[in-house]
Structure 1
Amino acid sequence: MKALVWHGKKDIRYETVPDPEIEEPRDAIIKVTACAICGSDLHLFHNMIPGMEPGDVVGHEFMGEVIEVGPENKALRKGDRIVVPFTIICGECDQCRRGNFSVCERSNRNKDVADKIFGHRTAGLFGYTHLTGGYQGGQAEYVRIPFADKTHVKIPDGLSDEQVLFLGDIFPTGWQAAIQCDIEPTDTVAIWGAGPVGQMAIRSAILLGAKQVVAIDNLPERLSMAAAGGAITINFDDESVIERLNELTDGKGPEKCIDAVGMEAHATATLDSVYDRVKQAAMLETDRPHVLREMIYVCRPAGILSIPGVYAGLIDKLPFGMLMNKGLTVRTGQTHVNRWTSELLSLIADGQIDPSFVITHRGDLADGPDMYRMFENKQDSCIKVVLRP
């Protein structure tokens, strides 16, 4: 079969790889009908996250048709149409029973490595390094789904691929980011990053009843999409984020702050961002936490910081004393996808939201390497890419 394959920094290739096979009784094999390039795929593209190996198939946002089912998988049949969550779940361990699916205790098959890096292993993820199991990803013609009787979202007739594809990652990620804020009707929610996850967080915060939602970015096309979704926008190249947020909140700061940026913050005009880039180049720091510092500084005392943005390792000069003295609550983690998908599927089916609004570019799987470069460089106002094998 054909797939997009990682070979190193900025080296994604469209290649022939072995077809997947049933390996465990609960497995399924799907024929991929749509997949997407996620912002966190760019961290792999830039070789910012350890644990990738040449030959790994990438991609964790995908869906398709079941073509083969393991003998113990009683939940799926050939012909079923499913979205595949990026978090692989057994559905039976203590964490899964609690709904903490992103820290499933059984699905990461590289336990020894994960325990050393994280202290305790987290869930297996598709196409996202050997620290999370080394599973082949979904930017491919076919994919093996482990624990497939639990790791799926069954899609009813009448909904298009593009309407439901993002149930596998960015829609529940944006939703969880907003849910973690405990939004009240009087709240201002500030969201750093108006990429795909930020866009979903904006609409989620509005659906959950926030008084006002503020989107912070510097790309006109992203800010325009955020405004179309109901957000007040701040271009950090043109004005001070802190001054504008204080102005919008009568000097008190936003009650809730969401970091939808993560480890590769692109601010360049501030002293701390220059410091981070120098330390990162010297391999003295892995991540650039400019957004985290800014959120801690501007958030209203007793507020909440929600962090769906991906961080990989070590950060420096984080004002923890400020965070502690202001009494801020921090909530983060990979997304517990299956905790939210039933509710979100209903929102889509009822017409309350159509997540396909975020798609700006479409192509064939063979176009993947070029699309990665376009997405990386934000060419042609690219915000979200969907590929079809």
Structure 2
Amino acid sequence: MSFDSLLLLMVLREFSPYTFNTLISEYKKLDSISLLDKVFEPPLPPEALFKRIIKKVELIPEQFSLELLLKFLLGIDNSNSTASYREQGLNYKIKGINYLERVLLENVPETELRDQVVFKNYFEPSPSSMDSLIHKILAHENWAISFGRFGKCFCLGSSQEEVSRRKNFALGILSAQGEKNTELLLKSEAFENLLVKVAEDGGLEDILTKLVLLNSSEHLLDTIIIKYHELLKRQLSMLGYSPSSSEVIKTAEIFDFLEQYKSHTEKINIIEFLEIHFQHLCIESIRILIEYITIQKLICLEQNYLNEYSKSYIEIICKVRSHKAYKLLAEFTLDSSAKSDSVKEHIKTLSLEEKDGIKAGIKNLPEFELGRVHKNQTLISMGLNY
């Protein structure tokens, strides 16, 4: 437990035993939940719980110090927002963690992990102990929950050793299929953030390769692709460039940045990846991966991004040839006149068989996915209304 919380609980017990007992009584009414790294939220918000305690002990206005003490313990009004308080405070109650119970017992219950043991494993892991930590997290629920609390330590630092450590840890978790807590970790925000960080370090290929082999990982796969892309957009925006625009890449600085991201994805056969996993990916992920294909093709400052992006779109649709693919191309074409003009120019270069395939794919889309009017508009925009 955080030293601040422990000290203030001791002060409260000595200063106002009745208030201390009321706090314990109300706190024990709260049940825990078992979701990994989701802090327990009581039926009543902390403010309401605070008011109930104040009402029961009948505090008078002159007892302001006692009121402030309770606010601090319950985490009200950001009275204490330090990281140690959030993770080791009275208001942090999840399955396997109950700091108030520890104070009352004056010991750590046998069913709970000691924070010192967790700290040693997470913050000072040696290469030889990494496998042991991975095994504990995958096999024991209390260790899986501990990852939700302290797994962020793997995202710290940028030295070669730290980058390698988090990558090895993440891939070690993803490589263990069918383990007890694998599904729990795949739903964890802490693990999601770790994978995004590994992708940022240049490990996107390894992450995608491992995720597609896991059952129930489709949502996490989409999340990693989208979050990784958000970083690209933010940094390009700072450079004054938007990949969605039709402008050419005007500066060497922007081009150098895109080259950096190209190096992160060039080892991935994204076209093949999309062919295999197209139906399982969300629309946003598909658009992003097509954008990466485009970035891989950019080889000179004079190239028009939208022109290359449209070409990549058509290339993928001609390979996948599904309702989902044709609907995606139709939506892209109808989005703007610049896009439709670009699509039309590239379709002119296709063979008659490829043109007929796209035309049939658009026409055969169910009405609820693309209405007749929009189908006709799409085919006219593509130059396929023959």
Asked which structure has the greater CA Rg, the reply is 2
The structure with the greater share of residues assigned to helix is 2
Which has the higher relative contact order, 1 or 2, with Cα contacts under 8 A spaced 6 or more apart? 1
- TM normalised by structure 2 equals 0.24
Q: TM-score, normalised by structure 1?
A: 0.24
Higher strand share: 1
